[in-house]
Structure 1
């Protein structure tokens, strides 16, 4: 009988790895939880006379989210403008348009009004439905941090002598108007006492958002490579950018956390060499950044590139790309597989145009975003 191929075996292992935690979690939950807790019965009456029963989760951006028996795994969405009456049996914070926040339950009143029962008040308050800005909104911290720090180290002594080390950093800090990006890599390799690789690169970028999508950026790119005779490559850039896909644009476990941004601007590009003649020029800077977490961040696909075309010579350009997959192991610990590609269309004498690098690293992934 023919043995299964390595590819088939790896596929089976990957499928088991992806599905086992969900099965195990479901089994543990069923065994430990016992009888399910009763779901609060809230009543939503629409202007057309329809009545919905379930649990009110929140109302934000003009949409009421209701968990019903038929949609226990996801919220049923109703336009707030279509709601005529509302009964909520469990205390929730009601944010009014004039700025007041009241925590309480509600009873149905005449059409277009709510009877809000606040624990600290003896009598319920009559509130127009239209005066409610939001219900139980998920309040995020002022600054959210998302990123990963991973490293890989290997060494051998005896018949074989080598030392390998690699370090990857990807950090994003986001407030309402500002976004800070730190992206870096360091690689070192020594074989039988001889240096075989040593290079590092890093990008620092600050974005200022004028709208939810449109922003202006300023960035600094730094790179060193011993085997490219490069002391330091520097690119200082600024220009406009656009957030094509943002968190929450899509729904579902596969697409809800996807993001994609792109930008193009002008940069000052300088190369400081050890032995060769230094070079500087005015260039453009184009960049795409794609991040696709799925299945509760168990799998993350990512891509980040920076492209520097010369304005003086259309054949002179430099490109660097990082892309890979990050797999969640347990809690916040992850395994990272990354492919790095660098291409210099007009390299200095004695230096090749293309550099490729494959890295397997392990580390920690963190996300301070609040989620329900």
Structure 2
């Protein structure tokens, strides 16, 4: 009985230092009449923090139709572990799975390892940088040989509280290819979040994705503008 009590006490002590956060968003765009357009975007970002560790699970799904014909569909699922060995510096390890047949690939498996560092962090603003190594296995739509190789990963994110209920965020991610120098990726997203109350927020964001050597698509870049309703828990 005593051992059971000790175990329960340990679990309660661990839980008291843990914190769970979830940010879920959904956006829908439907246009009719001369133009028949439908787009749906769902995102979920979750983090469980205990002591110096953070466990993250993120998912996103985007679907679009134009004149009742599917014109866009992509999704991603990611797991990541962060460990802060210093107050502003840490290590991260993650696995990200992506799918986007309209960009020319069936699946893309990414394994990440790197470091994070906050150059500045306060209640109203922050500046975060990440640098790491990524190993990618990309499965092609035509069942040809998988594309495999190492990439670098450089990521910078800045946040600023503009007003009490308005926050701005900007991030940029650069992925150089160590095997083929011309086959690099660049992702950029500025966003603005307006808090409606303690739980709900509105977010407007513009995601720009650049692929210097696209597989089959005609354009080297994709962009997605969203106006979303966010629920924070």
- Common topology (TM > 0.5): yes
State the alpha-carbon separation in 2 of the partners of residues 226 and 315 from structure 1.
21
| Residues 239, 266 of structure 1: 8 Å contact kept | yes
State the alpha-carbon separation in 1 of the partners of residues 218 and 57 from structure 2.
28
Q: Give the alignment's TM-score, normalised by structure 1.
A: 0.53
CA-atom RMSD in angstroms = 2.5
Q: Does 1:362 align with 2:229?
A: yes
Could you say which residue in structure 1 is the equivalent of 2:208?
341
Count residues in correspondence.
Answer: 218
Report the structure number with the largest CA radius of gyration: 1
> Greater strand share, 1 or 2?
2
Q: Does 1:170 align with 2:36?
A: no
Could you say which residue in structure 1 is the equivalent of 2:135?
268
Q: Does 1:189 align with 2:67?
A: no
Q: Does 1:200 align with 2:75?
A: yes
Q: CA deviation at 1:351?
A: 4.0
Q: CA deviation at 1:316?
A: 2.2
| Residues 151, 167 of structure 1: 8 Å contact kept | yes
Could you say which residue in structure 1 is the equivalent of 2:199?
332
Matches within 5 A, 1:1-372: 141-155=16-30, 161-247=36-122, 256-275=123-142, 277=144, 278-293=146-161, 295-296=163-164, 298-366=165-233
Q: CA deviation at 1:322?
A: 3.0
State the alpha-carbon separation in 1 of the partners of residues 223 and 190 from structure 2.
12
Higher relative contact order (CA 8 A, sep 6+): 2
* CA deviation profile, 1:87-139 (whole Å, cap 9, x unmatched): xxxxxxxxxxxxxxxxxxxxxxxxxxxxxxxxxxxxxxxxxxxxxxxxxxxxx
State the alpha-carbon separation in 1 of the partners of residues 208 and 29 from structure 2.
22
State the alpha-carbon separation in 2 of the partners of residues 245 and 143 from structure 1.
24
State the alpha-carbon separation in 1 of the partners of residues 19 and 161 from structure 2.
16
| Residues 276, 348 of structure 1: 8 Å contact kept | no
Structure 1 residue runs without a partner (length 5+): 1-139, 248-255, 367-372
Structure 2 residue runs without a partner (length 5+): 1-14
| Residues 77, 96 of structure 2: 8 Å contact kept | yes
Structure 1 pair 349–165 and aligned structure 2 pair: CA distance change class (3 A)? closer
Q: Give the alignment's TM-score, normalised by structure 2.
A: 0.81
State the alpha-carbon separation in 2 of the partners of residues 311 and 229 from structure 1.
21
**3-state secondary structure, aligned to 2:102:** helix
**3-state secondary structure, aligned to 2:86:** coil
